Amino acid sequence: MNERVVALDARLTRQMSVGMKTYVRELVARLPEIVPEMRFLIYSNENLAARTSNARFVPVSPAVARNGGFGEQFVYPRQLRGGGADLIHYMSVYAPRRSPQAHVYTIHDLIHLRYPSYFSWKVPPYYRLVVGPVARSARAVLTDAACTVADLQRYLGVDQTRVRVVPLGVSGAFTLDDAQRVQRAVMIRSRLGLVRPFILYAGNHRPHKNLMTLVRAWQALEAPCDLVITEDGSLGVEDAGHKAGPGQLHLTGTIDVQDLISLYAGCAATVQPSLYEGFGLSVLEAMACGAPAVVAQTPVLLEVGGDAVDTFPPTDVPALTRALTRLLSDERHAEDRRRAGRERVQHFTWDATARATADVYREMLR
């Protein structure tokens, strides 16, 4: 049998989130080793050096790496056609409307269509003119969670039989043993002046993140406790933090990955109150670091967290207050959540993501 060739659209662009870029880098690093019987062409604007003989880096121009422009829509298809691949994997929503070859397409979530008011007016037309046609013409659409399958049909008209659910993985950098967790906790407490136990929220401040439910639940706690919120935003969180609470509100602004890991290691609990998530990777990262997690009862967070997380109805402030009170006052329960979280995370690795993605390639190339 002739060697099959897969082109990986591994462009890393300004419009892509950190999570989208991580997905591309992790798969590009693993797929050639996991699928030695295939040859890979890695198209990117960054030098994602191939580590195996069955992979070759193919540079793209700055114009091709600009999402939505002439280069992406007209120049890039010609470059891809010249590579002669049997299958193209568009690894983000940014893709040529007319693919020159058979393709599979990754769509992590459809938050841009569920909550269009949060984003630029340019986003809905791009989804209508580009994302929809690319998805409907794909041999398969890859998505992170089962609960997104219905959204793909509802918003883009994708036949559910062509959707493949491939969960994401957690970087090994987030996996801490007990000694590492204690060391990092001491370090971050000292640097940020955290003298009380603290609850952590890590993420952006868009309205669907439901942060005011968390703030109000924290304010209702009786035990002394701080609240740490990362990233920047202006949803009234700052003003709410001036009201009486059990401790101090800390707004860290943007932080790097190492500080995030340390905050997860040191927190009494991490909370994800979001009304909608594409996958909930932050919950898995927190559990890998040994943080007990409390999540809103939304489909993807329940899907990802399983029985390793405590839950609450998304807008039920008293229920969240009760969940946090239990974690703060019952060390046996908190330790059980840490143990369950670490066990749960073992099911979500980038190697598993790459193997499942490779299975999709094999299925589409039969």
Span 53-74, pLDDT tens digits: 999 999 999 999 998 899 999 9
Query: Residue 224: what pLDDT?
Result: 94
Give the relative orientation of helices 281-288 and 257-266 as an angle to the nearest 10 degrees: 60
Strand 38-44 and strand 103-106: pairing?
A: unpaired
Report the distance separating Cα 222 and Cα 235, nearest Å.
Answer: 25
pLDDT in tens, 253-287: 989 999 999 999 999 999 999 999 989 999 999 99
Report the distance separating Cα 19 and Cα 15, nearest Å.
Answer: 12
pLDDT in tens, 186-242: 999 999 999 999 999 999 898 999 999 999 999 999 999 999 999 877 556 656 655
Domains and CATH numbers, the chain: 4-169+349-364 (3.40.50.2000), 172-345 (3.40.50.2000)
Tokens, residue 235? 């949803």
Global pTM exceeds 0.75: yes
Can you tell me the mean pLDDT for 331-356? 97
DSSP state of 130: I
Report the distance separating Cα 3 and Cα 174, nearest Å.
Answer: 37
pLDDT at 246 over 90: no
DSSP state of 160: G
